[in-house]
Amino acid sequence: MPQSRPVSESSRRGLFWVLALAVLVVAGVAYWYFHASGPAKSAAGAVGRHGMAAGMTTPVSVATVRQGRIGFSLKAIGTVTAINTVTVRSRVDGELEHMYFKEGQKVHAGDLLAQIDPRTYQIQLDQALGAQKQNQALLQNAQRDLKRYQLLYKQNSVAKQLLDAQESLVRQYQGAQKSDQAAVDNAKLQLGFTRIVAPITGIVGLRQVDPGNLISASSTDGLAVITQMQPISVIFALPQSQLPAVLAQVRAHKTLAVDLYGRDDTQVIATGQLVSVDNQIDVQTGTVKLRARFPNTDETLFPNEFVNVLLHVSTDDSAIVIPSGAVQQGSIGAFVYVVAAGDKAHVQPIKTGTVDGDNIAVLSGLSPGQKVVTEGVDRLREGSPVQIIAPKPAADSAAAPAKASAGGGSALPAPGPAAQSAH
């Protein structure tokens, strides 16, 4: 047992030096790889890539800078709102006898909608007429007596006091006659209220009360709701920062057109005009409400419907126009690639203006006739050589499906210039 200890210690010391030597060898190889051959390979690769990019011709599509019309429009989300909405209520108490409309029916102002039992109010009218006739008889008798007293007074046959008393009696009956006439008119009015007519032209909603029920003038439910459909309005809001441009046109008494789009925001569903701007800004949202009116002859717009609003504020007929896809953003701001002589692309900083659909106005940096790159921009650098790809004629693209149908199979499109350049 004592002789095995020196042998074990010697083995461990030998293993330690072997491991240390292996670590030094690995460290040396790593140092040589990363500090000697690595930079050389990276430099060679970078030179190769830049040399290849510099010599490659990039296929691009271009558009010609033109001078033309561009409109300044504002987008918003609006709510279709009826110009007039009326809850039809009874102005007298009584039993509802008949309903003369159907739910969802279009009615016109003055059409009879419902009938309340008129007998109670007919009796009140008869009573008023009876009292009126009674007082009329008294008035006529008093007027005849007055004439007699006037004649006798001229003959000094009656005292002045009797003549004055008779004149006062006549005036009293004349006042009663006016009160009677007012009572008759009120009774006629109450009787007329038993016929409920449509106050506006529109569509009647669902009825709230059925015939046979007792209804009250104090009830807030009403019989039904009439909503005016033609014309109809849309209320929308704009940020306060956009308000000055709109007010400038409104104060100049210009009519601003408004287009409405559906949920897909692709097709115009109605065209109208701006009619009013609210008189204050909402302090919570920083927006102001506007109202546009639409004829709605086909009743496409429905109350409380959400729509996309496009307000046409102004139009510039002499703007410098390019496609919006040509504009790029970078550290220098907005810029485009201009194809100059020799078919080389050059960076041109620009100042942009109004956006109108797929077009944008350029305030400075370009002039009509120049060509700007619209497709293939991501592969360009300053001075890159380019190959302009002509757009495919519409007739060719329309004829391709016809040929495929005639052959009974699916035709594959022939490779265009871009595909050829890629190969």
pLDDT band at 412 (very low <50, low <70, confident <90, very high): very low
| Spatial distance between the Cα atoms of 103 and 232, rounded to a whole number of angstroms | 20
pLDDT band at residue 120 under the 50/70/90 scheme? very high
Asked if 289 and 309 touch (Cβ cutoff 8 Å), the reply is no
87, amino acid identity:
T
What's the mean per-residue pLDDT of the chain? 84
Examine the pLDDT at 203 and tell me if it is beyond 70: yes
Rounded average pLDDT over 230-239: 96
In contact, 322 and 62? CB cutoff 8 Å: no
Mean pLDDT of 309-324: 91
Say how far apart CA 274 and CA 13 lie, in whole Å: 96
Residue 177 three-state SS: helix
31 versus 414: which is more confidently predicted?
31
Q: Kindly state the DSSP code that residue 104 receives in the 8-state scheme.
A: T
pLDDT tops 70 at residue 416: no
CATH 3.30.70.141 fits 73-83+228-317, yes or no: no
Does 422 score more than 50 pLDDT? no
Give residue 383's pLDDT. 87
Q: Is the link from the previous residue into 415 a cis peptide, with omega within 30 of 0? A: no
Kindly tell me the sign of the dihedral angle through the C-alpha atoms of 281, 287, 293, 297: negative
Read off the tokens for 359.
């077009």
pLDDT given for residue 392 in this prediction:
57
Q: How confident is the model at residue 231 (pLDDT cuts 50, 70, 90)?
A: very high
pLDDT average, residue stretch 60-75: 91
299 Cβ neighbours under 8 A, 6+ residues apart: 229, 230
Residue 114 has pLDDT above 60, yes or no: yes
User: For residue 410, is pLDDT > 70?
Assistant: no
pLDDT of residue 285: 94
pLDDT at 32: 63
Percent of all residues in the chain with a pLDDT value above 90, rounded to a whole number: 63
Architecture of domain 58-68+318-391: Beta Barrel (2.40)
Task: Look at residue 20 and tell me whether its pLDDT is greater than 90.
Answer: no
pLDDT per residue as tens digits for the range 262-303:
988 889 999 999 999 999 999 999 999 999 999 999 999 999
Q: What helix, strand, coil percent values describe the chain, rounded to 5?
A: 40, 35, 30
Residue ranges of domains in the chain: 58-68+318-391, 73-83+228-317, 86-226
- Tell whether the model's pLDDT for residue 400 goes beyond 60: no
Q: pTM for the full model?
A: 0.64
* Angle between the N-to-C axes of helices 119-154 and 160-192, in degrees from 0 to 180, rounded to the nearest 10: 160
> What distance lies between CA 66 and its chain's CA centroid?
31
CATH topology identical between 58-68+318-391 and 86-226: no
Q: CA Rg, the chain, in Å?
A: 46
Determine the pLDDT at residue 206: 94
pLDDT at 56: 81
Q: Which fold has domain 86-226?
A: OB fold (Dihydrolipoamide Acetyltransferase, E2P) (2.40.50)
Question: Is residue 77 classed exposed, middle or buried when 0-12, 13-18 and 19+ CB atoms within 10 A define those classes?
Answer: exposed
Residue with tokens 């495929």: 404
Q: Specify the DSSP element, H or E, that contains 333.
A: strand 333-340
Q: Is the pLDDT score of 304 beyond 70?
A: yes
Say which DSSP state 377 is in: G
Per-residue pLDDT at 265: 86
- For the chain, helix (H) and strand (E) counts, in that order, are 7, 22
